[in-house]
C-alpha cells in the first residue's frame, strides 16, 4: 500500500533531463501503487489544452498509460499550469481536484494543495494570482491564437523570474499563521504542498494539537517524491540519468 506525491517538476522541452527522470518514475515507481497525486507546476508553462506539441503528447501518453492500468491519478493546479483543463483530463484520465482538497491518507485526513495561496506576504503575487484566475480574463485569453498565448506566457514567465530575484526569502515562503489558519479551517492536522521548493517535514501545533506540514521538493537537480504508506511518510529523491550529470 503506497501513495505517491510529486510537484514542481516544471516540465519543458528545454529540460530533457527532468523529462527523462519523470518518464522513468512513471514507468518504474508507480507499479502497484494506490494513487499518484500531482500538486501543481507539473509544467513550466501551460497556455491551453489545445497546445498539442509532441512534447506535451509525450507527457500525456505517460499519464494515460498509468490511468489505463487502473491506477488513479489526481492533479491540483499550480501557479504555472493553472490553465490545465477538461480536455487534458479527458485525454489522460487524470482527475482534476479543487485547489484545497482533503483526502483520507491511510486513516489520516490530509489537506493537499499547491501551496501558493499560503504565501500571503507576497502581496504582489497574490494580486497577480487573483487577476489570472478571473474567469472572464481566462475566457479572453483562450480566444487569442495559440502563438500569441505562447508569447504572452513566455513574457510572464520571464517577468516572474526577475521579480522573484528581488524578493526576500521569507516573502516567497509560506506564512506560518496562514498555514495554521487553513489547517484549522479544514479540520486537519496534516498538510502536503509544494510551490516553495523547500522539501521538509515540519512539526507544528494547530488548536493546541500536534500537526505536521510536508513540503514537496522541485525537480531541478533531481526528482523529488513523497512516499506514503500506513507506516508513515518519507521524502525521497530520484537521480537523473548518468548522461545528464555534471
Extract the annotated binding site for Mn(2+). 8, 10, 41, 79, 114, 195, 197
For cell 484520465, the residue is 93
Question: 118 with 193: CB under 8 angstroms?
Answer: yes
Dihedral of the CA atoms 47, 50, 53, 59 (nearest 10)?
80
For the annotated binding site for substrate, the residues are: 79-80, 122, 160, 164, 167, 195
| Alpha carbon distances (Å) from 22 to 43, 128, 187 | 12, 30, 33
**Binding site: what residues are annotated?**
8, 10, 41, 79-80, 114, 122, 160, 164, 167, 195, 197
Q: The C-alpha cell of 211 is what?
A: 500537526
Q: Which helix (H) or strand (E) holds 209?
A: strand 209-215
Of 118, 116, 193, residue with least CA distance to 160: 116
Amino acid at each position: 500500500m503506497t501513495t505517491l506525491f510529486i510537484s514542481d517538476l516544471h516540465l519543458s522541452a528545454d529540460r530533457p533531463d527532468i523529462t527523462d527522470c519523470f518518464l522513468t518514475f512513471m514507468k518504474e515507481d508507480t507499479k502497484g501503487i494506490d494513487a499518484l497525486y500531482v500538486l501543481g507546476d507539473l509544467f513550466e508553462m501551460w497556455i491551453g489544452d489545445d497546445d498539442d506539441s509532441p512534447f506535451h503528447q509525450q507527457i500525456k501518453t505517460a499519464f494515460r498509460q498509468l490511468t489505463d492500468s487502473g491506477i488513479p491519478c489526481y492533479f491540483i493546479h499550480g501557479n504555472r499550469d493553472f490553465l490545465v483543463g477538461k480536455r487534458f483530463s479527458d485525454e489522460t484520465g487524470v482527475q482534476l481536484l479543487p485547489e484545497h482538497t482533503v483526502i483520507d491518507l491511510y486513516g489520516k485526513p490530509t489537506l493537499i494543495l499547491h501551496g501558493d495561496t499560503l504565501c500571503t506576504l507576497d502581496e504582489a503575487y497574490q494580486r497577480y494570482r487573483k487577476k489570472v484566475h478571473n474567469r472572464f480574463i481566462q475566457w479572453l485569453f483562450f480566444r487569442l491564437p495559440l502563438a500569441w498565448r505562447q508569447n504572452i506566457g513566455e513574457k510572464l514567465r520571464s517577468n516572474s523570474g526577475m521579480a522573484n530575484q528581488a524578493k526576500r526569502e521569507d516573502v516567497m515562503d509560506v506564512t506560518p499563521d496562514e498555514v495554521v489558519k487553513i489547517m484549522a479551517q479544514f479540520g486537519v492536522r496534516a498538510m502536503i504542498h509544494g510551490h516553495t521548493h523547500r522539501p521538509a517535514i515540519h512539526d507544528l501545533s494547530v488548536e493546541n494539537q500536534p500537526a505536521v506540514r510536508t513540503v514537496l521538493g522541485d525537480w531541478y537537480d533531481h526528482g523529488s517524491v513523497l512516499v506514503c504508506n500506513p507506516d508513515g511518510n518519507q521524502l525521497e529523491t530520484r537521480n537523473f540519468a548518468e548522461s545528464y550529470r555534471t
